[in-house]
Amino acid sequence: MTFEQLYSELNYVNHSREKRNYYANIVLNNPQLLPTLLEVVFTVDDKISARAAWLFEFVARENLDAILPHLDTYIEKMHTVHLDPAVRPMAKVAEYLIEAFYHKNDNATKKHLTQKHREKITEACFDWMISDQKVAAKAYSMRSLFLLGKEFDWIHGELILILERDYASQSAGFKARARDLIKRMKKA
């Protein structure tokens, strides 16, 4: 499938789980489509890029190993995504990768996600935390940063500062997650 064909198909993707699953399964069954999907994702000024990002997130959720050959592309360009509906799935995929990397069981992510990748994810997550993003992107970022802070000792101190600074002005969901993570970081 060419860029143009995939781009055209993405017009039929909407917020419904059914549509996103349907198109994500097409990509899962045809992994050679992933580079083209990422090409659309990183057409960052186009609203269709958000639909491609939704599919990318669904693919990662269903089979994280499928995206591992494309980590370099995702990691190098994830910070360029700026449309609200596209940032959330980018942050969620980062969370999937970080959770898999720090999981106690062996998995392919541990072999593919390099220190440079983790540093780039750290940078993107902090950018999402301090910029004007929706709560979901911030929630996924704070979880990723909490886990990364177990490896990079400076992260927890910075994350606590940001969470405490933004606490009063954020939603109930943000506050609940922030409270839990602050407590866990200060305890450690």
CA–CA separation, 91 and 85 (whole Å) = 11
What tokens appear for 161 in the block?
A: 């500062």
Note the pLDDT of residue 188. Answer: 74
Note the pLDDT of residue 70. Answer: 97
CA–CA separation, 33 and 113 (whole Å) = 21
pTM score:
0.93
Residue 147: how many other CB atoms lie within 10 Å: 17
175 in Cβ contact with 135 (< 8 Å): no
Q: For each of the chain's 188 residues, which pLDDT tens digit applies?
A: 777 887 788 887 777 778 888 888 889 998 999 999 999 999 999 999 999 999 999 999 999 999 999 999 999 999 999 999 999 999 999 999 999 999 999 999 999 999 999 999 999 999 999 999 999 999 999 999 999 999 999 999 999 999 999 888 888 888 999 999 999 998 87
CA–CA separation, 147 and 154 (whole Å) = 12
134 in Cβ contact with 173 (< 8 Å): no
Per DSSP, the three-state class of 98 is: helix
Q: What single DSSP character describes residue 70?
A: G
Output the DSSP codes for 101-132: HTSSS--HHHHH--HHHHHHHHHHHHHHHHSS
Note the pLDDT of residue 93. Answer: 98
Best CA proximity match to 81, nearest among 65, 92, 97, 96: 92
Note the pLDDT of residue 17. Answer: 79
Note the pLDDT of residue 187. Answer: 85
Note the pLDDT of residue 107. Answer: 97
What domains can be seen in the chain, in order of their start residue? Answer: 3-187 (1.25.10.10)
Note the pLDDT of residue 7. Answer: 79
